[in-house]
Amino acid sequence: MIIGIETSCDDTSVALVDMTGAVLFHRIHSQENLHESFGGVVPEVASRAHVDVLPSLVREAFSVSRTRPGQLAGVAVTRGPGLLGSLLTGMAYAKGLAAPLKLPLIGVDHIGAHLRACVESADEIRGKAIGLVISGGHTHLFRIDKWPELILLSQTVDDAAGEAFDKGAKILGLSYPGGPSIQKEALRNTLPLLPLTRKNIRTESPWDFSFSGLKTAFALLVQKVGITPLTRPQLAASLQQAIVSHVMDRMEKIVACESPEVLLVGGGVSANALLRSRLEELALACGMVLRLSPIPLARDNALMIARHGRELYLAGHYFPYPYKALFPYPRDLSDVRSRKTPRPS
């Protein structure tokens, strides 16, 4: 078996898969209630909560699946990117679990794992593929010529898309995390959508994303319109529309330029229903295969770490015991992926 441990941000998650990839256990312990009053993740609170929860979650994994640590072939753990304290917590625990059993330690790239969550089998990532990871921490677009190597094509120059949802929700007095609250509120809208005007978006490449101007434009719009039971859904729907339109503008450009055969979209924001339907329309129009992350696996989870970790282990990408000093991403990750940043001409 491979155990997967995910603690890169505010979810503590553990999964067990057997060597065929079958799931023996998977649980996500959310810290949402701890961060709710702050309207965003507080790193120190997140790290301490991982320390509290992880040992009991791992014990639960073995007892529920009726397995023992002695049956493990390796320990897969998120190595980054993420909050440093949160990553260190998971990595320290993973080393503590692996070392007495002299097990291989598998450092898993969180972004690659989000893309891996989009498919049942990694074999589906073939031909010309593009991957979008869109979450509270990332809005990153990759070309994938040879899985699991990711070639960075573009990214956000400021906030991530999920942050724009979270900040918008905070302005409207909606609960954290903001994405699901904005989506729910937007469904109640009966009024026309309001335009969110922002100054020219200054990005280095036409594929880069930018959300901070949108956030400012939204704050100004809210000031102008005011929050009432009638305008709150209208404002939520207008923000959702603006965020999704910006993402789709970039996706249409990249698809026109790269003509991918497969498009993978993962990360928490990929659960958004409007974004999913717009991506489906694009895929249909361009004749490409769209692989959206199943909604339960769009958010941070350890199953994606265990599955990706198992495949990395089988391909020989792991640290054998005794481990040399191991650091969180971005240090020393050349063994699992390469990053280049080509620009459109």
Give contact residues for ligand KG4 (rule: CB under 6 A).
9, 135-137, 162, 165-166, 177-180, 183, 267-269, 271-272, 299-300
Q: Which does 12 bind (CB under 5 to 8 A by kind): ligand KG4, Zn ion, none?
A: none
CB of 300 to ligand KG4, least distance (A): 4
- Edge-first strand order for the sheet with 129-134 is 151-155, 139-144, 129-134, 262-266, 289-292
d(CA 213, CA 208): 14
From the list 277, 337, 287, the residue with the least C-alpha distance to 108 is 337
Q: With contact defined as beta carbons under 8 Å apart, do 236 and 216 qualify? A: no
Q: Which does 6 bind (CB under 5 to 8 A by kind): ligand KG4, Zn ion, none?
A: none
CB of 114 to ligand KG4, least distance (A): 7
> Can you tell me whether residue 77 is helix, strand or coil?
strand
CB of 299 to Zn ion, least distance (A): 7
- Contacts with Zn ion, 282-321, as mask; x by CB under 5 A: ------------------x---------------------
Kindly tell me which of 165 and 313 has the beta carbon lying closer to ligand KG4.
Answer: 165
User: Residue 43, preceding bond cis, omega within 30 degrees?
Assistant: no
CB of 256 to Zn ion, least distance (A): 28
Kindly tell me which of 117 and 263 has the beta carbon lying closer to ligand KG4.
Answer: 117
Q: Which does 299 bind (CB under 5 to 8 A by kind): Zn ion, ligand KG4, none?
A: ligand KG4
Q: Which does 166 bind (CB under 5 to 8 A by kind): ligand KG4, Zn ion, none?
A: ligand KG4
The residues, any chain, with a CB within 8 Å of residue 90's CB and separated by 6 or more, are 5, 6, 7, 8, 50, 54, 77, 78
Is 139 a residue that touches Zn ion (CB under 5 A)? Answer: no
Kindly tell me which of 74 and 309 has the beta carbon lying closer to ligand KG4.
Answer: 309
12, 86, 89, 135: residue in contact with Zn ion (rule CB under 5 A): 135
Kindly tell me which of 166 and 300 has the beta carbon lying closer to Zn ion.
Answer: 300
d(CA 14, CA 2): 11
Kindly tell me which of 7 and 234 has the beta carbon lying closer to Zn ion.
Answer: 7
Distance (Å) of CA 97 to CA 102, 236, 240: 9, 45, 43
Is 10 a residue that touches Zn ion (CB under 5 A)? Answer: no
User: Residue 322, preceding bond cis, omega within 30 degrees?
Assistant: yes
d(CA 50, CA 28): 11
Place of tokens 């335009």: 195
Number of residues that bind Zn ion (CB under 5 A): 2
Kindly tell me which of 97 and 134 has the beta carbon lying closer to ligand KG4.
Answer: 134
Alpha helices in 297-338 (DSSP H): 302-314
Which positions touch Zn ion (CB under 5 A)?
A: 135, 300
